[in-house]
Chain A
Amino acid sequence: MKVEVLFSEACNLYGDLFNMNYLAASVPEAEFIYTGFNDVPAFAGEKVDFIYLGPMTERDQETVISRLKPYRERIIELIEQDVVFLCTGNAFEVFGSYIETDEKRRIDCLGIYEGYAVRRLMNRHNSLFLGTFKDAGQNSREIIGFKSQFTHTYTDNRKGYVFAKTRGYGINPDSEFEGIRMHNFFGTYLIGPILIMNPYFAKYLLSLAGVAEPKLAFEKEAFEAYEVRQKEFHDPKRSFDQ
């Protein structure tokens, strides 16, 4: 498995980059390529199996858009070839139509999916999320996670979402569905150690990236921690707004 981590020098907020350390520990034979802002992405000239982009500052979103714009067609091609993309936090917004700022300025994005994000810097949204997804065997699995963001995305994602909401918020406060899914492109507002906290989801993504019967690092401990948290997230007394 070849993994390309995009712009990790900037897109590394909220501990998200450790998801890649977890993949590296789980698949020791995997090759990791860390592509910087001033590098040509590896995916431009070769096939990679897994592309990761983590959360970033609002200013860095504009830099990321400018760096990825020349490769827009190639990204579409890779998505259509079922390459796995994982974009966490505000990272997936750069693949949408535009981002509307507080001053109503429109930041044009890559336009790979139809949908726009509305940013309100004085209104940080913090919440928990509990939802479901279907794994490779079509089993329904639960996902648990955190959100901490200035933006919400507006689009009809009913036919292409990452998680169906059980508790918390979808891609915007009125949505029942979280994230954007196109083929194996997964864009989600969940932040932090999403793969470490969700062993079923980590195994699912690895299987999509071509790892046969994936086994996670410290899998037993990961499932134990997941089960403790999962139980809490089902407790109706726990607040999901933070």
Chain B
Amino acid sequence: MKKCKFFVAFLMGKLSLVAIKILSRFVKKEGTTLPGNIVLKICPEFLKYIGKPSRMIAVTGTNGKTTTNNMIADVLSMNGYKVLSNRAGGNIAAGIATCLLRGVDLLNRSRYDVAALEIDERSSKRIYPYVQPDFIVCSNLSRDSCKRNAHPQYIFDFIDQNLPDRSVLILNADDLISSRLKKENARVYYAIDRQESDKTEPFNIINDVRICPNCQEKLVFDYVRYNHIGHAHCPNCGLESPKPDFHVTSIDETAKQITVSEKGEMQTYPLVFDSIFNIYNEISAITALRSFGLGHKQIADALKKVSVVGSRFSQDEVKGIRIISTMTKGWIAPSCSVAFDFVANFPGEKEIVVMIEDTDDNIQSSENLCYIYDTDFEFLNKPDIRHITVCGIRAKDYLLRMLLAGIPREKISCVREIPEIAGTLTVEKGVDFHIIYDLHQMEAFHQIRNLVIEKIKQEG
């Protein structure tokens, strides 16, 4: 009976793929998870029966999933593998079902050598019983939307309880949450060695591993990079961050390369990305690909050709004045703190416009702003930040938060509508403009950017 359901679902799914292909000639947007939704509705165990490539790598975790998975897929493709990836689709069960359905012929035989799948953490329960990757990368676990993901321990349990026994885990040794996933599984750890900029005392509001998970003693951080990411040990019971099998020993930004120690042997790879967060993505991809069986040279040569898509910041220049735009994920405190840290440490005098609220939520409901009290607005309290304009329906909430961060009142302008921003800005040679915006509010961002450009053109 179950097989029967599968064949009906399979047929309907394939027909929907054809229909979408035809429709996509007329409508730009592709219904990427629609076939998956259809097949799972008809046959909830569809993922069990659908044909899969003989080898599979999956990437999960709070941040960096898409970047890491795309890098893995690109490197494998450049090395001659036929790679099935959900890069254009969803990462929940329906997205995975759509991706696998696309990857099989009419006899349900996979047409690919390997699958590189990004998997949503909360979908673990629906996916892993049927899709059992050879390798699963978990990038990190940190605070996310409280409405969906509650807290990292909740997501840890979700993944931990559902990881397949057979999967080799590729884990971040610098993350004392995700590195403790399913201890009985085979595992390979990666890390980045201590950097000059690292600190020894946690400095963010959020640190979800302040105490030892075994004995509740306060942990000692040998170094901390951000939030709970770093190397720690417990002075009471001896628990410590795992020893990495692959670790970045040096980052050479001039030569654009990183040196990786692999069981004591040093190898160099191109530095694909600019920030420490993305170097974590790169070392996790390298670790997964080496574990998969690719040689160092195969990976390094391919990484030279990997294109960097979607940087978190962009830069324009108008009349000699720079406009630096930094994207963040509103709702997500660690992401906002990273953006604030980046802007605050950007060299030079600056004038900042902040609009990170969820406009849609504020129109239909009223945005839950708990996260702004987990976000380090304190980073913006710096002498070289001359002025901050905060904009939006929630501007008064942000103003209050900034005042509590110690930012002087006279440095902050608070406006509700975007056009009002123009009246708050002062154009001055040698002072950069920074715009911090939410990735879901692109329209608002473009309006603000155009307004800043116009202001400089008029007064610069």
Using a CB–CB distance below 8 Å, which chain A residues touch chain B? 9-10, 13-18, 21-22, 25, 36-38, 57-60, 63, 121, 124, 126, 128, 146, 148, 150, 191-193, 196-197, 217-218, 221-222, 224-225, 228-229, 232-233, 238-240, 242
Smallest beta-carbon distance B416→chain A, Å = 9
CB distance from A178 to the nearest CB of B (A): 16
**What is the CA–CA distance of A10 and B393 in the complex, to the nearest angstrom?**
32
Sample of 17 A–B contacts (CB below 8 Å):
A15-B371, A18-B205, A18-B373, A22-B404, A38-B216, A38-B217, A57-B151, A58-B154, A124-B147, A124-B148, A148-B370, A150-B150, A192-B368, A193-B370, A196-B404, A238-B364, A240-B365
Residue B239 lies at the interface, judged by CB distance under 8 Å to chain A: no
Q: A residues within 8 A CB of B400?
A: 196, 218, 221-222, 225
- Is B397 an interface position by the 8 A CB rule? yes
In this assembly, does B220 line the interface, its C-beta being within 8 Å of a C-beta of chain A? no
Q: Which residues of B contact A242 (CB under 8 A)?
A: 147, 361, 365, 368
Q: Which residues of B contact A16 (CB under 8 A)?
A: 370, 373
What residues of B have a CB within 8 angstroms of the CB of A233 in the complex?
366
* B333 neighbours in A (Cβ, 8 Å): 15
B210 touches A9 (CB 8 A): yes
B318 in the interface, Cβ–Cβ < 8 Å? no
A10 to chain B, nearest CB (A): 7
Task: Give a binary string over B338-370; 1 marks a CB under 8 Å from any A CB, 0 the rest.
Answer: 000000000000000000000001101110111
Chain A residue with minimal CB distance to B217? A38
A196-B404, A218-B403 given; A57·B154 CB < 8 A: yes
| Nearest Cβ on chain A to B363's Cβ, whole angstroms | 9
B346 to chain A: closest CB distance in Å?
26
User: Is residue B384 contacting chain A, with contact meaning CB distance below 8 A?
Assistant: no
Number of interchain pairs (Cβ within 8 Å): 108
Q: How far is the CB of A70 from chain B (nearest CB, A)?
A: 15
Interface SS, B side: helix
Are B211 and A15 in contact (CB-based, < 8 A)? no
Chain B 369-387 against A: per-residue CB contact (8 Å), 1 yes, 0 no?
A: 1111110000000000000
Contact across chains for A239 and B151 when beta carbons are under 8 A apart: no
Neighbour of B211 across the interface among A36, A124, A191, CB < 8 A:
A36
A59-B368 in contact given A9-B210, A221-B400 (Cβ < 8 Å): no
Let me know if B365 and A192 touch, CB within 8 A. no
Query: A222 vs B396: C-alpha distance in the bound complex, in angstroms?
Result: 8
A126 touches B211 (CB 8 A): no
A146 contacts which chain B residues (CB < 8 A)? 368-370
Asked if A63 and B216 make an inter-chain contact with CB atoms under 8 angstroms apart, the answer reads yes
Q: Is the CB of A36 within 8 A of B218?
A: yes
Are A239 and B364 CB-contacts (below 8 A) given A13-B151, A63-B216, A148-B146? Answer: yes
Q: How far is the CB of A139 from chain B (nearest CB, A)?
A: 23
Contact (Cβ within 8 A) A148 B368: yes
Which residues does chain A contribute within 8 Å of B268, judged by CB atoms? none
Other A-B contacts than A126-B147, A148-B150, A148-B370, 18 sampled, CB-CB below 8 A, are A9-B211, A15-B371, A16-B373, A17-B205, A18-B404, A36-B211, A38-B217, A58-B153, A124-B148, A128-B366, A148-B368, A150-B150, A193-B369, A217-B404, A218-B403, A224-B396, A225-B400, A242-B361
The listed residue (B153, B205, B364) touching A59 by CB distance below 8 A is B153
In this complex, which of B373, B396, B403 has the most chain A Cβ atoms within 10 angstroms of its Cβ?
B373
Q: Is B399 in contact with chain A by the CB < 8 A criterion? A: yes
Shortest beta-carbon distance from A99 to chain B in Å: 15
Would you call A225 and B366 a contact (CB within 8 A)? no
Set B210, B217, B374, B396: member contacting A221, Cβ < 8 A = B396
Query: Is there an interface contact between A192 and B370, defined as CB atoms closer than 8 Å?
Result: yes
- Nearest-neighbor residue (CB-CB) of B406 within chain A: A25
Cα–Cα distance between A238 and B368 once the two chains are bound (Å): 13
Q: Is the CB of A9 within 8 A of B218?
A: yes
Bound CA span A238–B404, Å? 29
Enumerate chain B residues within 8 angstroms of A232, measured Cβ to Cβ.
Answer: 362, 366
Contact A191 B404 (CB under 8 A): no
Kindly list chain B residues whose C-beta atoms are within 8 Å of the C-beta of A121.
154
Asked if B373 contacts A192 (CB within 8 A), the reply is: yes
A121 to B148, CA, bound (A): 11
Alpha-carbon separation in the docked complex, A232 to B416 (Å): 14
Which residues of the partner chain A approach B397 to less than 8 Å between Cβ atoms? 197, 225, 229
Q: Which of A10, A192, A196, A240 contacts B210 (CB 8 A)?
A: A10
Q: In the assembled complex, which residues on chain B have CB atoms less than 8 Å from the CB atom of A196?
A: 373, 400, 404
Bound Cα distance A193, B371 (Å): 9
**Alpha-carbon distance between A111 and B154 when the two chains are bound, in angstroms:** 26
A193 to B333, CA, bound (A): 14
Whether B396 pairs with A15 at a CB distance below 8 angstroms is no
Complex contacts, B362 vs chain A, CB 8 Å: 232
CB pair B374 A37 closer than 8 Å = no
Which residue of B is nearest A15, CB measured? B373
**Bound-state Cα–Cα, A17 to B150, Å:** 16
Shortest beta-carbon distance, A117 to chain B, in Å? 15
B146 to chain A, nearest CB (A): 5
Of A13, A25, A59, A121, most B-chain CB atoms within 10 Å: A13
Chain B hits for A57, CB < 8 A: 151, 153-154
Let me know if A126 and B368 touch, CB within 8 A.
yes
Contacts of B368 in A (CB 8 A): 126, 128, 146, 148, 192, 242
